[in-house]
Structure 1
Amino acid sequence: MNLPKHLLPTTVVGSYPQPDWLLDRAMLSKSVPRVRMQSMWRIPDAQLEEAQDDATIVAIRDMERAGIDIVTDGEIRRESYSNRFATALDGIDSDNPAIITSQSGLQTPVPRVVGPIKRTRPIELRDMEFLRRNTDRAAKITLPGPFTMSQQAKNEHYEDDEEMAMAFAAAVNAEARDLQKAGADVIQLDEPWVRNNPELARRYAVKAINRALEGITVTTVVHICFGYAAVVPGSTKPSGYSFLSELADSNAQQISIEAAQPRLDLGVLKDLSNKSILVGVLDLGDPEIEPVSVVADRIRNALKHVAPERLVVAPDCGMKYMPRATAFGKLKAMCDAAAKVRAEIG
Structure 2
Amino acid sequence: MALTLPPLPTSVVGSLPQPGWLLDHDKLAHQTPPRVRARELWRVAPELLEEAQDDATRLAVRSQETAGLDIVTDGEQRRESYSNHFATALEGVDVDQPGSVINRSGKPIPVPRVVGEIRRPQPVQARDVRFLRAVSDRTVKITVPGPFTMAQQSQDEHYGDGRALAMAYAEVVRAEIADLFAAGADIVQIDEPWLQARPEVARQYGAEAVTRAVEGAAGPVHLHLCFGYAAMVSERPEGYSFLPELADTPVDTVSVETAQSHLDPAQLRPLRGKGIALGVLDLSTPEVETPEVIADRVRRALDDVDVERLVLSSDCGLKYLPRESAAGKMRALAQAAEVLRGEV
Same fold (TM over 0.5): yes
Aligned mates of 2:5, 2:308 — CA distance in 1: 10
CA distance in 2 between partners of 1:35 and 1:337 (Å): 38
**Counterpart for residue 21 of structure 2:** 21
With over 3 angstroms needed to count, the CA separation of the structure-2 counterparts of 1:102 and 1:48, relative to structure 1, is closer
Output the TM-score relative to the length of structure 1.
0.97
2:331 alignment partner AA: K
CA distance in 1, matches of 2:142, 2:330: 18
Instruction: Say yes or no: does 1:299 pair with 2:298.
Output: yes
Structure 1 residue 165 corresponds to structure 2 residue 166? yes
Letter in 1 for 2:189: Q
Distance in 2 separating the partners of 1:4 and 1:63? 17
What amino acid maps onto 1:229 in structure 2?
A
Q: Report the RMSD for the aligned CA atoms in angstroms.
A: 1.0
Q: Residue by residue, what CA displacement relative to the aligned partner does 1:224-260 show, whole Å, maximum 9, x if unpaired? A: 0000001111xx2101011111000111010000111
In the alignment, which residue of structure 1 is the partner of 2:199?
Answer: 198
**CA–CA separation in structure 1 for the residues paired with 2:268 and 2:197:** 20
Q: How far did residue 274 of structure 1 move?
A: 1.7
The 10-residue stretch of structure 1 (301-310 or 88-97) with the greater mean CA deviation from structure 2: 301-310
Paired position in structure 1 for 2:72:
71
Offset, 1:104:
4.8
CA contact (8 A) 1:4 1:69 kept: no
Deviates further, 297-306 or 313-322: 297-306
SS of 1:322's partner is coil
Q: Which amino acid aligns with 2:66?
A: R
What residue is the counterpart of 2:183 in the other structure? Answer: 182
1:287 counterpart residue number: 286
Per-residue Cα deviation, 1:282-319 (whole angstroms, up to 9, x for no partner): 00012210011100111111212123202100000010
The residue aligned with 1:6 is: 6
Identity of aligned residues (%): 54
Q: CA deviation at 1:105?
A: 4.4
The letter of the residue matching 2:115 is V
Structure 1 moving runs of 4+ over 6 Å? none
Contact 1:299–1:338 (CA under 8 A) maintained in structure 2: no
Map 1:245-324 → 2, pairs under 5 A:
245-324=244-323
SS class of match (2:300): helix
Secondary structure, aligned partner of 1:249 = coil
Question: Do the aligned residues in 2 keep the contact of 1:220 with 1:254 (CA within 8 Å)?
Answer: yes
For structure 2, the residue ranges without an aligned partner over 5 or more in a row are none
SS state at 1:140 partner? strand
Equivalences for 1:119-158 in 2 at 5 Å?
A: 119-158=120-159
Name the CA shift for 1:132/1:103 in 2 (closer, same or farther; >3 Å): closer
Q: Secondary structure at the match of 1:99?
A: strand
Counterpart of 1:319, as a letter, is L
| Count of aligned pairs | 343
Alpha-carbon deviations, 1:177-197, whole Å to 9, x = none?
Answer: 110101111010000001121
Contact 1:3 1:70 in 2 (8 A): no
Aligned to 1:237: 236
Query: Which residue does the alignment assign to 2:214?
Result: 213
Deviations 1:54-100 (A, max 9, x none): 00000000000001101000000000000010011000001001122
Q: List per-residue Cα deviations over 1:8-41 (Å, max 9, x = no partner).
A: 0001100011001000011111221000001110
- 5+ residue gaps, structure 1, are none
What's the counterpart of residue 118 of structure 1?
119
SS of 1:344's equivalent? coil
Amino acid paired to 2:303: K
- The alpha carbon displacement at 1:101 in A equals 3.3
Conserved in 1, the CA contact under 8 Å of 2:104 and 2:197? no
